[in-house]
Structure 1
Amino acid sequence: MVNGEWHSPRLLLTLAETEQEVLPAYLRQCYRRGYLPRPRARRGASWWKSPIYCTWHDQVALACRDSVDYLSGSMPSAVDFCTQALTEEWLQELCRHDCQPGIVILDAVWQCNKNAADPDPVKWPDLRGWIESCHRRGIRVFLWNNAWDKEGLPADECITRDGVPLCADITNPKYERRFREMLRRYFSAGADGLNADGLKLDGSLSLPTGPGLRNYADLWGLELQRYYLRVLYEESKKHKKDVCISTFVANPYLADCTDMVRIADMYTPRLTAERAMLHRAQVYRQTMPGCVIDTDGQMHFYQLDDYSRILAAQAEVGVPCLYNAKWLRRAHFFQPAEFSQLTEADYRFFAKVFREWRRKNNL
């Protein structure tokens, strides 16, 4: 029962000629009405568009090389294969075939724990020295990390669910100081820094939601995600102005907290990854204009024998990115996995794509 006046939330109905016009029409209304900040002009470093190599699918291939369990989709621990020796071997394999990347991404897990900047001494006996050797070869290095991870944290620096530590609490001043110090060491050229050039942030989908949660500031939802990314972005830029922050978010409200967005090497039910890749790239261009698009590794789910051609398709929508320097494991759930080694023809094709991309982008 209403006594007086009641105003319902406003609802705006619009029409669009095509499916591709729906999201831009909605965003125009959001910008016009002040619900979202208008996209800002960007001038990133030219090297952000350099061809990329990420270690992840070489790691996955080695971890699953002897696996026959193709029904469950489970795999042995690929993180064991992110090592200095293997990464250098893979990088040299690419360079030997004229496929030198401009960016190398060290994927999971190079560090002792995900809330510190200390490399695993067994896997990475001299990470700083290796990064410097990459710089001498004209290669930048990105470090992987996992958002919201609570590894290595005391309970009082965690978001809890029903009193049980769940994930890192970026709103807690104690954890925020720890987080900022970790980022300083990632990018600082000082004696205790790693002098890396970028960050691949995974885990943003692990944003804590649901009942029973408590954190220091009682901040939740998209505002909590934004606070995490804002601290990460601003602190990183303090220590290296041209550092590149790569995320997996497609939301204009978070656009000013990222430089590069990743299409992701996620599952597709199709025989090739191309249609899924094109759709994701379109969404990114509409929601995150001006961000560099990392096309990620698409060969893993490519079931046809011409898998190498996907790299050329990647170069049509964003920065070509190889996840495979030597090994290739292609798999769909409920299908036997195909394990192979890249061929000389593959390398020739990759080299051509990288060469044409560099020419097109004046790199």
Structure 2
Amino acid sequence: MTHKHGASKLTVKADAISIEGKNGRSLARINLQFCVGTSAYNVIKLEKKGKGFLGRTGDPKVVVEILANPGGVSVELKGAFSDTGSIIYFGGSSVSSLYGRAFVPDADCRLFETAGKEDFYLTNSGMLLQKKVSKKDLWMIAPPPHVLSFGDNELGWFGLSIPEPMPVVCTQISCHRQMFHVTFDSYSPSHSGGRLPRVFIDVGLEDDKAILDRHCVHAHGLGLIDQDKKSYEWWHNPVYCTWGDQCYLQKTAPRKLEDSIAIPLDEARIMHWAEGIRSIYPGEVNYIIDAGWFDYLGDYDPKLSEFKTIRDFKGVLSRLKARGFRAILWYTPFWVQTQSRVEKEHPDYLLRCRDGRIYRDQDNRAFLDYSNPDVREYTRGRVEYLLKTLDADGFKIDMNYVHPFMSDVVLHDSSWGYGNQFWLQVMKFFHACATAVKEDAFFTISGIESYLQPYASSVRLNDLFDFHNAKAWYDRAEMVARLMPDVPIDVDGWPASLEKIREYQFVSPVFGAPVTYYIDAVEVMTAKLTDVEHNRMASVWHVYGKVPCGRGMKLTIDSEQGIFERRGADGRLKAIALQKSAFVCFTADRIYLTSNCDRAVSIPVESVELYRKAEKVYRDGRRETVNLFKDGRKNLVLNVCDSGSGILCYEIS
């Protein structure tokens, strides 16, 4: 079988899949060689079947199914296998291209040279895995998308995509001196209807990132994406999260913490920060009360040492709502503190090691076992209590990337889920519990996989510990935009220096609602925010409010080219960031602009003849006419000043 796509050609042979790139030159040879545990299986004969082939191996009970699709083929090993330590696909395969592209957080989300030695790890247990494999910050996005591409400008590009959630502890992609294979570590086929992984091989890709779009197409075809996913306008509200200001307080006036993740909060602080947000923006804001509002992980009762009574904490949420905020609570589904009521009264709810001991992490936390129906019933009650009794509006779901390797624990019900499938099961269950109470219940999560799209109200771009460079956030935003259609992007923003904030807050509202973790001070520099920072924040939020993000928007995010655009469903430009310093929004008859520095801005428009007037609008309400220049037929030029001086926006009509 030969499949042509553009200048590329894929040919299925008995022993391998060959891929030709541009000008008929060899791009890759993907061997049909597999290992399950200690048993090896090689395809020795092809039989035509429907739209593809069955590859016969030396074992009559084991075959390889190869199916054609518009972009290439899918490959799946089939047979009756018990749980196994590892499965290897495509052993000894080779690539001729110069580069590969991995989509793993931070430093590993990059082009790499195929002639070198690279290993990439894809898992939901990223925080634990990085300790074993000496990789930094694997946990930032969990799970990361299971995609990889190979190619260069001379040969073109092809890619591998695994869109379905798998019962696997870790997927490892190895490329050493232009030889590669894929290893599924501790794969448990009994949790997937007896199935082993299905890998899509796509050819004729436009560039190194086009595999992301193919991955999304495959997920659509498999029914993993909800094309009619409900969305609500308020999910696109600007966001304030208390965590940055909490960290500043802990750094400057440290308190003894019962758990390192939970920095205490009280009513005075919560309402003080709310008034700070109100001083810069009058519209509705999603207010995230981060870790520290509760007594113990696992119980999630309000911290009575800070709020006195549960009624007092509910009163705080009511006061926030009266001031125009939505109340979002930090929550992690897994962690349990030793002091918690749930551990003392229900030790049977906790994950167990294989020797029967309660599994604990390095900080002595235990983990709820969601395969236990009693745990699910307990969690259902907690969710109903938080959303109905306390009247919270949703959750910041955090720390899903710290649960243990499934190979280290024993589940109450081993059939319920395993590996990444276990996390998906938990997310589906949690989503069902919350939406049964409030249909528009909000979830911000940190996993970027298409199969999570139906259950996420937004995807948080998560922590970035490069305090001065926001590039990884832009890369993550691009992945969300391409892999999870109609899911709002929670642009995050923690941790950051003032320098990083200055750039990022003028770019990120193109692809997501503005977010700040700081209204008082920045802990990275131990610096109080000044009127300049508050003025810039007020200006950005005001301009965003004129043209907020919404369903059906089309995003272009390319940090390497410096392109950040948002278009409506009609294709018209709605927002753009110019040179990472000016944020511009477009309505039907007006343009709104804000800048973080003094500069000349060239604004792309459909026709310069539509605009005749420009005004500088100050935060105190004053207006001042400014000169508007026209550069040809498609660009307006405006000399603007730093909004930190008290400018609310520039308005062009």
Tell me the TM-score normalised to structure 1 length.
0.86
Q: 1:340 corresponds to which letter in structure 2?
A: A
Q: Could you tell me how far apart the structure 1 residues matched to 2:317 and 2:538 are?
A: 23
Matches within 5 A, 1:54-65: 54-65=241-252
User: Aligned in 2, Cα 1:30/1:232: closer, same or farther, shift over 3 Å?
Assistant: closer
Distance 1:347 1:248 in 2: 28
Q: Deviations for 1:56-106, whole angstroms, at most 9, x for unmatched residues?
A: 011111112379xxxxxxxx9573342222111111122234466611100
Q: Distance between the aligned counterparts of 2:483 and 2:300, measured in 1?
A: 32
Distance 1:128 1:5, change over 3 A: closer
- Is the Cα–Cα contact under 8 Å of residues 57 and 329 in structure 1 kept in the other structure? yes
Report the Cα offset of residue 267 of structure 1. Answer: 1.9
Percent identity at matched positions? Answer: 20
Matches within 5 A, 1:333-344: 338-344=525-531
Q: What is the DSSP-based 3-state SS (H/G/I as helix, E as strand, rest coil) of the residue aligned with 1:164?
A: coil
* Bigger Rg, structure 1 or 2: 2
Segment drifting more, 224-233 vs 81-90: 81-90
Match of 1:288 among 472, 484, 494: 484
Report what 1:104 is aligned to: 287
Deviation at 1:3, TM superposition (A): 5.2
Aligned match of 1:71 = none
Task: Map 1:143-162; keep pairs closer than 5 Å.
Answer: 143-151=329-337, 152=340, 153=343, 154-162=346-354
Q: Distance in 2 between matches of 1:6 and 1:234?
A: 38
Amino acid at match of 2:322: R
**Who is 1:312 aligned against?**
506
**Which residue of the partner structure matches residue 140 of structure 1?**
326
1:170 aligns with 2:373: no
Alignment partners' CA distance in 2, 1:243 and 1:210: 29
Structure 2 residue matching 1:104: 3-state secondary structure? strand
- 2:464 maps to which residue? 266
1:344–1:78 Cα change, 3 Å:
farther
CA distance in 1, matches of 2:456, 2:476: 17
2:511–2:549 contact (8 Å) kept in structure 1: no
Q: Among residues 194, 198, 214, which one is paired with 1:25 in the alignment?
A: 214
Match of 1:84 in 2: 267
What letter corresponds to residue 326 of structure 2 in structure 1? R
Q: For structure 1, which segment, 341-350 or 146-155, has the greater mean C-alpha deviation from structure 2 after superposition?
A: 146-155
User: What's the secondary structure of 1:14's corresponding residue?
Assistant: strand
CA deviations on 1:19-78 (whole Å, 9 max, x unpaired) are: 22122123324544x3x52442333121111111000011111112379xxxxxxxx957
Partner of residue 8 from structure 1, selected from 26, 42, 64:
64
Of the candidates 457, 460, 472, which is equivalent to residue 276 of structure 1? 472
Contact 2:298 2:334 in 1 (8 A): no
Structure 2: gaps (5+ residues)? 1-40, 42-57, 66-74, 76-198, 360-366, 551-653
Equivalent runs, 1:182-193 vs 2, <5 Å:
182-188=382-388, 193=389
State the TM-score, normalizing by the size of structure 2: 0.49
The answer for unaligned runs of 5 or more in structure 1 is: 68-75, 331-337
Q: Choose the corresponding residue for 1:113, options 296, 301, 308.
A: 296
Secondary structure at the counterpart of residue 304 of structure 2 = coil
Counterpart in 2 of 1:321? 515
Deviation at 1:242, TM superposition (A): 1.5
Runs of 4+ in 1 over 4 A off after TM superposition: 3-6
**Relative to total residues, which structure has the larger helix share, 1 or 2?**
1
How many Å separate the matches in 2 of 1:17 and 1:155? 54
* Alignment partner, residue 204 of structure 1: 400
Give distance in 2, aligned partners of 1:17 and 1:317.
23
Pair 1:220–1:139, CA change in 2 (3 A): same
Match for residue 533 of structure 2 among 346, 351, 354? 346
Provide the rounded CA distance (Å) in 2 between the counterparts of 1:187 and 1:217.
Answer: 28
- Amino acid of the structure 2 residue aligned with 1:161: C
Task: Please state if 1:301 is matched with 2:357.
Answer: no
Could you say if the C-alpha distance between residues 283 and 244 of structure 1 is closer, same or farther in structure 2, counting changes exceeding 3 Å? Answer: same
Q: What secondary structure sits across from 1:357 in the alignment? A: helix
Q: Secondary structure at the match of 1:235?
A: helix
Amino acid at match of 1:309: E
State the shift of 1:281 in Å: 0.6
Question: Is structure 2 residue 276 aligned with structure 1 residue 93?
Answer: yes
For residues 68-83 of structure 1, what are the structure 2 equivalents within 5 Å? Answer: 77=260, 79-83=262-266
Q: Secondary structure at the match of 2:407?
A: coil
Contact 1:143 1:196 survives alignment (8 Å): yes
* DSSP-derived class of the 1:165 partner: coil
CA 1:94/1:233 → structure 2, altered by over 3 Å: closer, same or farther? same
Does 1:46 find its partner at 2:224?
Answer: no
- 1:72 maps to what in 2? none
- For residue 231 of structure 2, what is the amino acid of its counterpart? G
Q: Distance in 1 between matches of 2:462 and 2:505?
A: 14
Query: When you count strand as a share of all residues, which structure comes out higher?
Result: 2
* Residue of structure 1 in register with 2:555 after alignment: none
Provide closer, same or farther for how the CA distance between residues 238 and 4 of structure 1 changes in structure 2, counting only shifts above 3 A. Answer: closer
1:223 aligns with 2:421: yes
Change (3 A) 1:204 1:347: same
Q: Is the 8 A contact 1:53 1:101 kept in 2?
A: no
Aligned mates of 1:50, 1:30 — CA distance in 2: 28
Greater CA drift, 277-286 or 19-28: 19-28
Which residue number in structure 1 is paired with residue 579 of structure 2?
none
When residues 196 and 171 of structure 1 are mapped into structure 2, their CA distance, relative to the original with a 3 A threshold, is: same
Q: Contact 2:215–2:483 (CA<8 Å) still a contact in 1?
A: no
AA in 2 matched with 1:48:
W
Q: Indicate the SS of the match to 2:203.
A: coil
What secondary structure does 2:459 align onto? strand
Q: For 2:474 and 2:329, how far apart are their aligned partners in 1?
A: 26
Aligned-partner residue type, residue 157 of structure 1: Y
2:543 match: secondary structure: helix
Structure 1 distance, partners of 2:522, 2:282, is: 16
